[in-house]
Amino acid sequence: MNSLAFRAAVSRVQQRHLRRQTPAAVCSLSQTRSHAGGRVHGTRSYSTAGGRGRQMAGTAGNVLLVGSVVTLFGYIMYTLYDNLLAENGVTRVYNESLDLVRANPQIREIFGPSVMGFGEPSHGQRQRQRAISHREFEDDKGRQRLTMKYYVANKKDGGDHTGVVRVDIAKSAFTGKWDYNYVVVDVFDTANSRNAGRVEVLVTDEFAKEVRASEQTRRNRRFDVGGRGGSDGSWFSALNPSNWRK
């Protein structure tokens, strides 16, 4: 009887202890069992469904956050590579071609030693740094091409001249590398509102051969109505009659 009374007292104490705990807490229950050879102590753990739900929600949130960071980092790295490191990256082609323009003696004579490049012109000085106009396409020979257009002027005061820089690069079918076809600057005399000529900064031999072949074709078809309005009479538009008429 004493043993039964003792176990009943222990059970009542444990029940009062459990009632004092919060519902979300994990409780440890130690039970004492009597056997002929002695006592065995066992432990049971209890957890609520609400606690498991909050833990799963927290884990899912962390996974989503890490995934978003990795995706954003990958996009940033791809954008930097595509613009700065790739051979046909817009920023890279712009910087390289602008260096060629600045180093040209004729350009330095017209615009001075300080030449700046900028996007589509605007009335405000702060708005000059606009996106550079460019176009990627596949030509009739199956080559990947990139054409670009931007503007140059005197860096200090703008001067009396404005230049329109036109760039063309193509991907070689043999080497897989991108090579320049041409870099030319059409100069406009803003003081007298007239064209002041064209400076051929770079024209490759291969492209020059294509130009001569195109000019011969144009001369043979100059009275053909199919070619009307397609050229301004220059070697540039002879090869690209539709690209720069806009």
- In terms of C-beta density within 10 A (0-12 exposed, 13-18 middle, 19 or more buried), how is residue 115 classed? buried
CA atoms of 212 and 238, how far apart (whole Å): 9
Helix (H, G, I), strand (E, B) or coil at 40: strand
Q: Tell me, what's the pLDDT at 38?
A: 46
Residue ranges of the chain whose pLDDT lies below 50 = 22-46, 128, 223, 225-235, 237-246
Q: Tell me, what's the pLDDT at 3?
A: 65
Shortest CA distance to 149 belongs to which of 106, 109, 118, 115?
118
CA atoms of 37 and 239, how far apart (whole Å): 104
CA atoms of 12 and 16, how far apart (whole Å): 6
Tokens read off for 182: 């041409």
Pairing state of beta strands 178-189 and 158-171? Answer: antiparallel
Q: Write the class of the CATH domain 90-203.
A: alpha beta
Shortest CA distance to 96 belongs to which of 201, 241, 210?
201
| Full 3-state SS string of 165-205 | EEEEEEECCCCCCEEEEEEEEEEEECCCCEEEEEEEEEECH
Q: Tell me, what's the pLDDT at 186?
A: 95
Strand partners, 200: 184
Shortest CA distance to 133 belongs to which of 121, 125, 116?
121
Place of tokens 């498991």: 52
Angular region, 151: left φ>0, alpha ψ -120 to 50, beta rest: beta
Query: Within a 10 A sphere around the Cβ of 240, how many other Cβ atoms?
Result: 19
Shortest CA distance to 166 belongs to which of 231, 232, 101?
101
Q: Tell me, what's the pLDDT at 165?
A: 96
Amino acid (one-letter) located at 27: C
